[in-house]
């Protein structure tokens, strides 16, 4: 069982429009609402590959019910904690020039009781979960050390943890030594406190993290590709060329693919090839975290 944790999930509203004119009325061609948030996206992809998945986090209001219903329809085991405040909405504006503009709400404030309920549910999931994926931003009211605290509990129980977050939550989280982290270039720069102008500088910092106790570091480098570092390997996989439709969820596709490779005990080389192919397949579809299997296999060269 893979357990994804999304502390600040969202309803992803995709809006298609020719172009955005600031200060004027803009009429969309189409709009859709989808269950979203990084761990939610990871769970959606894993279910498409028929893996057993549980998901947890905070949900509230109508938006929260919509997300939980969507997960249950996919066969995801749900362990959400109910909140008084409503789950946020994230607006993704897709324009004809290929750019995606994201407007992200902060999410509801979490009370002490709601946090305590979540931690109790997390302890329950520790009994059945084999791998935990901790993803995304954190709502107000949740301590800065939340990811570090969850990682420590997972390590105590012998569970693998993949961490995909940013800012101070990433900085605190790595102190607890998760099994794998997947920062993008900017997130890694924030973590190490300096600019990383080239691949060699990124490799250097990733190797320092591995030497410090993190087993695997995967750095997403956008249109360039993926960099993988562990104690024995430094690998780079170039991005696949596809017609980009929507880049939201590409990083989550990488995380989902890494989970599947861990479950299957695949080599780092194969894991990188699969991750880059799945990310490209996600970028070429309108709906976030809904993969065209034919295109994925074609990109994989199968």
Orientation angle between helical segments 61-73 and 38-48, nearest 10 degrees: 20
Question: Angle at CA 162, nearest 5°, toward 277 and 276?
Answer: 10
Show contacts of 219-223: CB within 8 Å, 24+ apart.
Answer: 219/182, 219/183, 219/184, 219/185, 219/188, 220/182, 220/183, 220/184, 220/185, 220/250, 220/251, 220/254, 220/279, 221/184, 221/185, 222/184, 222/185
Closest CA to 216 of 290, 271, 171: 271
Among the options 12, 97, 149, 252, which is catalytic? Answer: 252
Distance CA 52, CA 50 (A): 7
In contact, 87 and 63? CB cutoff 8 Å: yes
Alpha helices (H) along 51-132: 61-73, 112-126
Closest CA to 135 of 229, 224, 258: 258
97: annotated active-site residue: no
SS3 (DSSP) at 7: coil
Task: Give, in order, the Cα–Cα distances in Å from 145 to each of 52, 142, 150, 172, 237.
Answer: 28, 8, 9, 6, 33
The catalytic site residues sit at: 252
């Amino acid at each position: 069982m893979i357990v994804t944790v999304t502390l600040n999930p969202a309803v992803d509203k995709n809006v298609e429009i020719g172009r955005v004119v600031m200060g004027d009325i803009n009429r969309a061609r189409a709009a859709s609402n989808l269950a979203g948030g990084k761990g939610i996206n990871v769970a959606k992809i894993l279910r498409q590959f028929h893996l057993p998945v549980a998901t947890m986090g905070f949900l509230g209001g109508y938006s929260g019910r919509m997300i939980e219903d969507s997960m249950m329809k996919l066969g995801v085991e749900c362990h959400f904690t109910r909140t008084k405040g409503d789950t946020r909405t994230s607006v993704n504006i897709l324009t004809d020039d290929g750019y995606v503009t994201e407007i992200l709400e902060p999410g509801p404030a979490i009370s002490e009781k709601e946090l305590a309920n979540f931690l109790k549910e997390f302890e329950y999931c520790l009994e059945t979960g084999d791998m935990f994926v901790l993803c995304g931003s954190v709502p107000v009211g949740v301590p800065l050390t939340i990811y570090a605290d969850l990682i420590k509990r997972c390590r105590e129980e012998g569970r693998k943890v993949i961490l995909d977050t940013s800012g101070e939550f990433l900085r605190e989280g790595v102190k607890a030594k998760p099994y794998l982290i997947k920062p993008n270039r900017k997130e890694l720069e924030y973590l190490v406190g300096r600019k990383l102008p080239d691949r060699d500088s990124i490799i250097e910092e990733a190797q320092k993290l591995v030497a410090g106790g993190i087993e695997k570091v995967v750095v997403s480098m956008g249109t360039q590709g993926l960099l993988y570092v562990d104690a024995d390997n430094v690998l780079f996989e170039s991005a696949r060329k596809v017609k980009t439709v929507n880049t939201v969820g590409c990083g989550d596709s990488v995380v989902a693919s890494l989970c599947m490779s861990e479950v299957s005990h695949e080599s780092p080389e194969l894991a990188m090839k699969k991750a880059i192919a799945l990310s490209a397949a996600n970028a070429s579809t309108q709906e976030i975290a809904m993969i065209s299997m034919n295109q994925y296999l074609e990109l994989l060269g199968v």
